Structure 1
């Protein structure tokens, strides 16, 4: 059903008036009747930023994307919807990481180190690349001293050096993917 321009203008004005009076639902009905998607976007922004009702805001942005393609309004709504979706995804990821029932087997993510590698602190998941390289250097120094027989308590020869190289390689790959 098509409405006259004068009726549409009156509905938009009435919607703006209701919106300023904080009658958001009344304003939404006026904007929807007039097919004024700029007003609907304003209502969606209100739900998003002031009321923090993300679900309602997402529904309205999606309505705008579906119905409105004039003057790039759907592009703005799409950008806002994408940002909301990213925020929701971040929150869900954080909740899942903190959920004890979800993270029952935390050891799968950790690299197992040989118990003889005492130069690397137990909290190796948070170690920086510099800590790992210092630990490798200390191991190399100990191994050289053992080979020169300058130490009375030598380091056991079954220390696995490739673990450090593996950690270094994995860190480098992760950094390359970030860049």
Structure 2
């Protein structure tokens, strides 16, 4: 398959869905309660649920921690999704660059 044919297979919207940043409107008290619950879940090892809570409340530090966890466990696309939601452009760019290197290797354009 030629490079042009391969590139046409990439969907315009990309490969992953990135949640909207900023979360939903919540009272400061409710946000603190959910942040604590998300941190507890993260510490207890329920990373997926913690990530959903952090997305809901728009908790940047929590999203970055979840992204770091996923990255360290070779779940690169999930890590990228969390970094983009945070937003942590530096960490997202690091992953995108690694992915681009892999794709360039596949296409033989090193």
The normalised TM-score by structure 1 is: 0.43
RMSD of Structure 2 on Structure 1 (CA): 1.9
Secondary structure of residue in 1 paired with 2:45: coil
C-alpha contact (below 8 Å) 1:18/1:26 kept by paired residues: yes
Secondary structure of residue in 1 paired with 2:86: helix
Query: 5+ residue gaps in structure 2?
Result: 1-23
Q: Name which one, 1 or 2, has greater alpha-carbon Rg.
A: 1
Equivalent residue for 2:100, pick from 89, 101, 115: 89
Tell me by how many angstroms 1:9 deviates.
Answer: 0.9
Structure 1: which 4+ aligned runs deviate by more than 6 Å? none
Residue-by-residue CA offset, 1:107-134 (whole Å, 9 max, x unaligned): xxxxxxxxxxxxxxxxxxxxxxxxxxxx
Query: 5+ residue gaps in structure 1?
Result: 66-76, 103-179
The normalised TM-score by structure 2 is: 0.67
Aligned residues: 86
Secondary structure of residue in 2 paired with 1:87: helix
